[in-house]
Every structure is written in structure tokens, then in C-alpha cells.
Chain A
Amino acid sequence: MSQKHTRRRTSYDGIVVTVPVSVAYERYSPEPAHWWLGRALSKLGESADIGAGDIDGLCASSFTLFPDTAVGLSQHFGLTPRWLDHIPTGGASGVIALRRAARAVQSGDANVVACIAGDTNHVDSFRSMLTSFSRFSQDASYPYGSGGPNGSFALMTRDYMNTYDVTREDFGKLCVAQRKNALNFPTALMKSPLSLEQYLDARRISDPITLYDCVMPCAGAEGYLVMSEDRARELRLPFARVLSTIERHNAFPDDAVQIRGGWALDKDEFWDMAGVAPCDIDLLQTYDDYPVVIAMQFEDLGFCEKGTAGEFIRANTFTTDGSFPHNTSGGQLSVGQAGAAGGYLGIVEAIRQLTGGAADNAVAGAKLAAVAGFGMINFDRGLCSAAAILAGEDA
């Protein structure tokens, strides 16, 4: 892939993200996705004290909204946006929504964009969602045991562990730290502490993956607003600045097994644009559906060299008070995975951390946050990767 003739991305100066909202997750919900997305929108309105007339951009993500898309939502929600996007990138949707909404606002296509993601979880909806995920998966993945994401990530995990120096204990350390963070996050579905022994002794799911490597599917929704800094000040909303964002799809298609993500293609520009270095970051929110992906994000975003995530994990602590605060709300591993909202969890948490909205799980003095997203297992690998660097108002 030639990078030589690619124009560099222009900055996101003057664009802010604000009003992080989460609709408390439920393991199963009888409500449809429309309810969850609607609730996220109404919470945005309540928190910002704005109404439909103030929002002229809408960006939505959901797996369970069928037969609707963001288009149908505009009518359902009484919005008349002049900019609309439906983002199907799953775990990368939160960051990608931010990036696209930021450009819309920056270019004047919209003033205030509501970014929302949500999914319901009926008793059988996870299974039926998985079996209609993609054509490549349908043709070339499901027939092989139908392990769902567990199987795909197990293959990645096995290959990664075989290639690099990383152990089950290392992955366990991340999961245990996230659970500790979650205990201070009121709406996390996982409410009991997790020990490394419990992690290591857990029920096997798909070797080498065990129970606590996996997220729990649930219903929930997340949302935030993107607008100009000026507008945020007018509305007196605490905000975070967008220093840099990237997205990339189907990177490294010839790797036999996915061992790196698209971040690796874009990381230099990513940091350059933000004008900061990985060591400046106060907290990182990764997409954490399986620890192996966390390890890839550490490496491919530049927090450590490729292949050294194990060492990096052993050298750091990941709780909110640790040397490397990570997934401070507990991540999907402990909060739950509310479908597409799982791709929003990290960015919403990062905004909270930078705007003084994090309570018992606040990272002291947090000014710079990095957020990464990863999504859409198509056939054998996740195709979408994205990342953003956000800065607090005073940073």
C-alpha cells in the first residue's frame, strides 16, 4: 500500500466533543433498539438542555435496528438533520462517528451532530445477529463450528501467543485491572471482583480463550455531541478537543492470521497531527473484546514496539490509579457489550474523564486521552480500526 502520494490529513482545530451519555446496560431487554437509541438521544437533550431544533446532524450505529437505519430514526425521533450518517463499523463506530461528525461540523455541513449507538439484546438476538453478519463470514467462517467471535479471536490469540512473548497471565492482568476499574463504575454489569486465579481457572471457551476473555452481550446505548468549541461555550457545555483521529479498513489483507490492525499504517500521522507522543497520554481506552486486541492496540498505536505488549503489560499497571490507566470504566469486558454501543463505550468514557464527568473511577489530573476502536469480524479478521486523541478543555 503506497503512502507516498497520500495527502496528510488536515487538523480538527476548533472541533469539540461533549455531553457523554450512557444508558445503563441490561443483560436482556424486551425493548427494541429504537428505544435504546431514543433514550440516548433524550439523555443528550436533557444533559445539554437542547431540543430537536438544535441538532442538525445525526449519526447512528446499531446492529439490531433492522429494518431501519439512521434514515428512519430521523422521522422516528422528529429530527430534520442536514447531515446524516449510518455507521456500520461496529466496535470502531464510536471513533469513526466522531471523526466524520467533526469533519461535518468543521466544514459547516452541520452545527451540532448527535452521535448515538445502541442495541437491544433479546434472548436469541445475539445468535441471529451473528448468523447474518457478513457474506464472507457466512460463506467461509460460520460453517466451521460457529464459534462466533470466540473462534475468530481464539485463532488470532493462538497465533499471537505463538509469535510473540505474551502469556495468559499477561492477558489476565488486563482483565483483572479492568474489573477493578468497573467496581467503581456504577452501571457495569460485572459487579464482583475478579482474581488472576479465577481468570486462569475459568471455563474454556475456545482455546486459548476462556470465559473472562469474553464480553457479555447485553442491551444498552451511548451517545455524545460534536460541535464547534464556540457552540459548546455558548451552551456552557464542558468539552474535550479533538486533536487527531484516524480510520482504516482492511489493512494488511495478506497476513495469514490477523496479528496487527490498521492503526499501524496510520500511527505516525496520528501522533504528529495531535502534536503529542504516546508517553503524554494520561489514559487509554481500547476496544477490548478479547485481550489480544488490546495487546495489538498497545503495539500498533505505538505505546510499545510490535511484539512487546507482553513486556509492556508486565511493566505497567492498568487501574485508574495505575501507571497506565486503561479502560477506566471497566471496558466491555466488565461493563458488557451492548452491540454497536460497545464501540462507543471508550470514547464516551474518555470524554467523561476529560470533562470531569468520571466519578469514583476518575483518573487524577487526566488531560489527554487516547481512544481506539476495532470492529467487524469479516470472515477471519476485524476489518475496521480507528483511533482518536482527545484533550481536556484546559490541556
Chain B
Amino acid sequence: MTEPLKRPSKKNPQKRTVLPTLPPHARSRKALAFTAAAAEGVLKLQQCAACTHITYPPREICPKCWSMDLSWVPVSEGGELVSETTLRTSINTHFRERMPWRIGTVQLDAGPSVLAHVHGDVEAYSRVRVIARTDKSGQGVMMALPEKETPNMADDRQLRALTCDPKFRRVLITDGRTELGQAMARALADAGASIVFVGIAEAWRPYAGSAELAGIPGVEIMPLDITDTISVEELAGEIGGKTDILINTAEYVRPGGAMERDGVVTARDEMEINYFGLMRLIQAFGPGMKFRGADGDNSACAWVNLLSVYALSNWAAFGTTSASQAAAYSLSQCLRGELAGSGVKVMNVLFGPLDESWRQPLPPPKVTPKRLARTVVESLQQGLENVTLGPVAEDVVRRFREDPMVLERELTQIQLG
């Protein structure tokens, strides 16, 4: 049984902060497809189109029939632990600092046997569930979990290294003025975050739900206006050193394309919040989080950006908002690149129309703020980096992956009806 995680003690101010070190990050280009799937929490292996053989490690050619046509497919997570060891030395500094470390060989139901990290509750030679996740280096790895949930399972040291569990972590939600921000605060508090800092811009303007928000245990209201560099810097000065998870709930959405707008004032507001706001947060909070990627049980671990799925391909009905979301998505990729090596994951949640006032006339299905908040918490607990939420977003993402140019044609053709 996993020892339940204890609330981390206060940091000893006389001790130097442990700097992030990394598990091996080098991978072949082929293996990056595994990583990409792992970032979504999906275990994918290569399958031969000709003979259906499933192969691992990543190859260029089917070892059974020599077909070059190998494609990545989701496979069953089931398997059996056929051998294991507990490493007590390592040639890698990251692991050396974390010894002992349990690994094992799993015979997957899908066919191949694989090396995997092994959860402490897995019994010898038992059935396991093998998950794919990104590790602190940002690359995909497998971990064998007990087939059935065990007590305090999420607190396993090796599993927690792959996840961004909010438990005992300090979270900043950048905009608490909206229903989304407030749902997020509640979800994070319920998930065991030790502090939920909630940014409130323009406290001189009242907002719905303020009293309820302030009443959530663990919530601390902080002045934060992400359009104001000084405000962002001041808050980072105050809590940047103890922000373990940052969830950017600020968004600015207005219907309309470029031609039907007069001027760029609204588009500028969109960019101020969706793009420059994110950049200000990155500049103010990024360095501190990057530094604290290995800072104990409540190390900095995740940066969450909530993005409209139309960041992938423009939807003219919300054309300039889509453009600002595309800019934000691109910046989020930049952030991922800049945080690489820190152990801090960048989670992008691409969602379909949110059920809020600016999208009120849109038809269902919509994503409720509560659902989005719950998804963020679950995805943090699972350690995901790329999340797609809602039927509309799933549809757009699927089409985008099939062929972005066809999707572009679909979204820009004359709208019928």
C-alpha cells in the first residue's frame, strides 16, 4: 500500500533549492510519436499495416514482414509484469538523486514486451495496467500500475513524478472574475491544493460570485490584471516563488471576423489578454517555476493554458478571437520549449464552445465551466500535456490531424443555412 503523501513542511530557507535534473531525454524522431500520444495519456505503439504485427521499440520497418507501413495505434494497456528490479544505482544524475527506483519488464497483451517504471503497489508477476505519460524530460515513458486502484495510489513517488497532482500544491488561477475561474478555484481546492491563489483584476468593478469565491477554503484573492505588466510583476514578486501550478483562466472572446469589425480596438483587447497577457505571465512566473521544477513534493509542475480549439484553424464567426487564440497557442508551444528541461509541464486544453455569455447564441453541445474545471483537475492528476475537451473540439482536432488543409476549407467555405 502506498504511504499517503504528507503535507510538505515549510521550506528551509537555509537550504539551497534543488535544481531540476532530467531523466534521459534523447529519442529517435520515430519515438516522438510515442511521446506525442503519451502527452495525451494514450498508449500508442506501431502496428504494421500489412501483417498487423505490433512492434516496439519504435522502428522504421516491420520486423516480421518488412513492410515499411507502420502506423501508431492505441493499444490495450493490459499486460503482465514478467520481471522487475529495484535500481539502487544509476548513471543518470536525475535517477541517482531518486534511488531506489523500481522498473520492470511487462509483457503487453498487445504483443511486445516493454520496459516500464513500476508502481510500488504492483505485486510481483501480476497483471498490470501500463500507462503512457511524459516524464520530467518531456518525453514519453510507460509506467505499470496495479490493475485495480489501490489506497493512496496517486501518492506513489514514481507515479507522482509523472503527474501534476494538485494535492498539497499551490495553484494560481489568473482570473477569478468569471464563472470559469470560480469553478476552477473550487475544483482545485477540492483536489487538495494547499493554497488556491485567485487573481482578480479591477477590484473596483464588482463581479458575480465574489463572496462565494472568497469563501472557498484555501482560496486567497490576489490582485492580478494580466493586461497590466506592473500588476503581473507585483504578484509574481509576491507569490512567484510558491506557484506550483499556474492555470490561465483569463480569456477575451468576442464574436466577429476582421471585416465586420471597425478598427482594431477589440482585436487589440483580445491580444492584450489572450496573447500579451499570457506573455506577461510567462515572463513574470516562468523563470521562478522553471527554477523550482525539482523543489520537493510541492515542486512547480504544471502550466495550464485553456485555449479555444479554433486556435488550430480559424473560425470566421469568431475570427479575430480565433486569431488571438492561435497566437496564444503558438506562444504556449514556445513556453513548452522554454520550460523543457525544467520538469514543468505545459498543459494545453483545447475546448469547444464554452457555456458563457459571449458564446450564448451558439448551439449545443457546449462545455460548461464546471466540466472544464473538472477536466483540468483530472488531467493534472493524470499528468497530461495535451487535452481536448468537448464534442466540438474533439471533432475539430480529429479533422485537423487528418488534414489541416481540408479542415481549413471546411471552416472557410460558404456556410449553408
Would A and B touch once assembled, by the CB under 8 A criterion? yes
Question: Which residues of A are interface residues toward B (Cβ below 8 A)?
Answer: 126-127, 130-131, 135-136, 138-148, 150-151, 154-156, 158-159, 162, 203-209, 253, 256-257, 379-380
Q: Are A155 and B105 in contact (CB under 8 A)?
A: yes
Q: Are B113 and A256 in contact (CB under 8 A)?
A: yes
Q: Which residues of A contact B58 (CB under 8 A)?
A: 139-140
A144 to B107 Cα, complex, angstroms: 16
Q: Which residues of A contact B84 (CB under 8 A)?
A: 155, 158
CB of A269 to closest CB in B, whole Å: 25
Residue of B nearest to A156 (CB): B83
Tell me if B23 is interfacial: C-beta within 8 Å of chain A: yes
Q: Are B88 and A206 in contact (CB under 8 A)?
A: yes
Central interface residue in B85, B88, B105, B113, by most chain A CB within 10 Å: B85
Find residues 9-36 in chain B having any chain A CB closer than 8 Å to their own CB: 23-24, 26-28, 30-31, 34
Q: Are B86 and A206 in contact (CB under 8 A)?
A: yes
Pick 23 A–B contacts, CB within 8 A, sort by A.
A127-B91, A130-B91, A131-B91, A135-B57, A136-B57, A139-B28, A139-B31, A142-B26, A143-B139, A144-B103, A145-B90, A146-B91, A146-B95, A147-B95, A147-B103, A155-B84, A155-B105, A162-B83, A205-B88, A209-B85, A253-B63, A257-B83, A380-B105
Total contacts A-B at CB 8 Å: 119
Chain B positions 55 through 69: 1 when the CB is less than 8 Å from some CB of chain A, otherwise 0: 011100001000000
Q: Which residues of A contact B101 (CB under 8 A)?
A: 145, 147
Residue from B34, B85, B94 within 8 A of A206 (CB atoms): B85
Q: Which residues of A contact B141 (CB under 8 A)?
A: 143-144
Q: How large is the interface on B (under 10, 10 to 19, 20 to 34, 35 or more residues)?
A: 35 or more
With A136-B57, A206-B89: A145-B117 Cβ-Cβ less than 8 Å: yes
Q: Are B85 and A158 in contact (CB under 8 A)?
A: yes
A203 to B57 Cα, complex, angstroms: 32
Chain B positions 209 through 240: 1 when the CB is less than 8 Å from some CB of chain A, otherwise 0: 00000000000000000000000000000000
Find residues 112-127 in chain B having any chain A CB closer than 8 Å to their own CB: 113-117, 125
Central interface residue in A130, A135, A146, A253, by most chain B CB within 10 Å: A146
Residue of A nearest to B80 (CB): A256
Tell me if B343 is interfacial: C-beta within 8 Å of chain A: no
Q: Which residues of A contact B94 (CB under 8 A)?
A: 146
Q: Are A131 and B24 in contact (CB under 8 A)?
A: yes
Central interface residue in A143, A151, A380, by most chain B CB within 10 Å: A143
Q: Which residues of A contact B41 (CB under 8 A)?
A: none
Tell me if B203 is interfacial: C-beta within 8 Å of chain A: no
Q: Are B83 and A142 in contact (CB under 8 A)?
A: no
Q: Are B91 and A126 in contact (CB under 8 A)?
A: yes
Q: Are A142 and B89 in contact (CB under 8 A)?
A: no
Residue of B nearest to A136 (CB): B57
A7 to B114 Cα, complex, angstroms: 35
CB of B266 to closest CB in A, whole Å: 47
Residue of B nearest to A159 (CB): B83
Question: Which residues of B are interface residues toward A (Cβ below 8 A)?
Answer: 23-24, 26-28, 30-31, 34, 56-58, 63, 82-92, 94-95, 101, 103-105, 107, 113-117, 125, 135, 137, 139, 141
Q: Are A140 and B115 in contact (CB under 8 A)?
A: yes
Q: Are B103 and A256 in contact (CB under 8 A)?
A: no
Q: Are B87 and A145 in contact (CB under 8 A)?
A: yes
Residue of A nearest to B124 (CB): A162
CB of A361 to closest CB in B, whole Å: 31
Q: Which residues of A contact B56 (CB under 8 A)?
A: 140
Q: Are A162 and B85 in contact (CB under 8 A)?
A: no
With A138-B26, A144-B117, A145-B95: A155-B87 Cβ-Cβ less than 8 Å: no
Residue of B nearest to A126 (CB): B91
Q: Are A380 and B113 in contact (CB under 8 A)?
A: yes
Q: Are B82 and A145 in contact (CB under 8 A)?
A: no
Q: Are B105 and A142 in contact (CB under 8 A)?
A: no
Q: Which residues of B contact A130 (CB under 8 A)?
A: 91
A253 to B115 Cα, complex, angstroms: 15
A208 to B24 Cα, complex, angstroms: 24
Q: Are B83 and A207 in contact (CB under 8 A)?
A: no
Central interface residue in B89, B92, B116, by most chain A CB within 10 Å: B89
Q: Which residues of A contact B92 (CB under 8 A)?
A: 131, 142, 145-146
Q: Are A205 and B117 in contact (CB under 8 A)?
A: no
A257 to B86 Cα, complex, angstroms: 16
Q: Which residues of A contact B139 (CB under 8 A)?
A: 143
18 more contacts with CB within 8 A, not counting A138-B24, A143-B139, are: A131-B24, A138-B26, A138-B27, A139-B58, A144-B115, A145-B92, A146-B23, A146-B24, A147-B89, A147-B95, A203-B88, A205-B89, A206-B88, A207-B85, A256-B107, A257-B83, A257-B113, A380-B113
Q: Which residues of B contact A253 (CB under 8 A)?
A: 63
Q: Which residues of B contact A148 (CB under 8 A)?
A: 90-91
**Smallest CB-CB A-B distances: 5 pairs:** A146-B92, A154-B85, A140-B57, A159-B83, A256-B113
CB of A131 to closest CB in B, whole Å: 6
Q: Are B87 and A256 in contact (CB under 8 A)?
A: no
Residue of A nearest to B101 (CB): A145
Residue from A141, A146, A256 within 8 A of B90 (CB atoms): A146
A126 to B105 Cα, complex, angstroms: 25
A143 to B133 Cα, complex, angstroms: 12
Q: Are A138 and B28 in contact (CB under 8 A)?
A: yes
Q: Are A144 and B26 in contact (CB under 8 A)?
A: no
CB of B366 to closest CB in A, whole Å: 40
CB of B331 to closest CB in A, whole Å: 28
A218 to B91 Cα, complex, angstroms: 16
With A127-B91, A151-B103: A140-B114 Cβ-Cβ less than 8 Å: yes
CB of B131 to closest CB in A, whole Å: 14
Q: Are B88 and A204 in contact (CB under 8 A)?
A: yes
Q: Are A143 and B135 in contact (CB under 8 A)?
A: yes
CB of B177 to closest CB in A, whole Å: 42
Residue of A nearest to B86 (CB): A207
Residue of B nearest to A151 (CB): B87
Q: Which residues of B contact A144 (CB under 8 A)?
A: 103, 115-117, 141
Q: Which residues of A contact B27 (CB under 8 A)?
A: 138-139
Q: Which residues of A contact B34 (CB under 8 A)?
A: 139
